[in-house]
Amino acid sequence: MRGADTALLIIDVINDLDFPGGEHVLPWASRMVERLAPFAARMRKAGVPVIYVNDNFNHWRSNFRDVYRHCTRAGSRGRGIVRALRPHATDYFVLKPKHSAFFATSLVPLLEHLGTKKLLMAGIATNLCVFFSAHDAHMLEYDITVLSDCCCAESDTDHDLALDQLQRFLGVRVCRADEVKRKGRFRRPAHPSKGSGRL
């Protein structure tokens, strides 16, 4: 199957934004949705698996559907965002208990099952769960692309800083969604990945 070595990870977008600073994330998240929703649709069409990896909000009894319901309840700050990014029946779901998508989750076995080698990463927040998930993906030696216009943070400073660090220190590819070709391949050569001398 074509595109099968790539997967799109969408991190913590099923989110009520009910935390200190959540009000600052909201406008950036609204912009993010405009890019991410059509990009996810394009990936689905191209046969690229779409995987929602999401905080369990300390609701250990929950499943993904409960988290979705919780975050789209009347009065949830993130309601519009969540609805716009509603998962499809063919998408995959992984609940995570901590920042990283890889910590104490079934994400690695799922990626093995799918044959994934390359990750496209998107979601909230660029400098926290996306950032730390990208770092774990780096240690696990996945090929990583973070989609700059499909992530957001509390401020553009936090966002830009995180992307800069991912590029400089981990050699992560950072690009916009429209720079990703069909099937997760790239329109133009990736940024020359700077060596990440381990320190």
- Contact positions vs a second copy (CB under 8 A): 12, 15, 19-22, 25, 55-56, 58, 60-61, 63-65, 89-93, 95-100, 103-110, 112-113, 124-125, 127-129, 132, 135-136, 138-139, 141, 153, 161, 165, 169, 195, 197-199
Choice between 93 and 179, CB closer to a second copy: 93
Nearest residue to 105 via CA among 132, 68, 69, 72: 132
Question: Least CB distance from residue 175 to a second copy, whole Å?
Answer: 22
Question: Least CB distance from residue 163 to a second copy, whole Å?
Answer: 14
Cβ density class 72-87: b for 16+ within 10 Å, e for less: beeebbbeebbeebeb
Question: Least CB distance from residue 65 to a second copy, whole Å?
Answer: 6
Choice between 117 and 187, CB closer to a second copy: 117
Question: Least CB distance from residue 63 to a second copy, whole Å?
Answer: 3
Question: Least CB distance from residue 181 to a second copy, whole Å?
Answer: 26
Question: Least CB distance from residue 105 to a second copy, whole Å?
Answer: 6
Choice between 188 and 195, CB closer to a second copy: 195
Choice between 58 and 188, CB closer to a second copy: 58
Choice between 153 and 174, CB closer to a second copy: 153
Choice between 63 and 83, CB closer to a second copy: 63
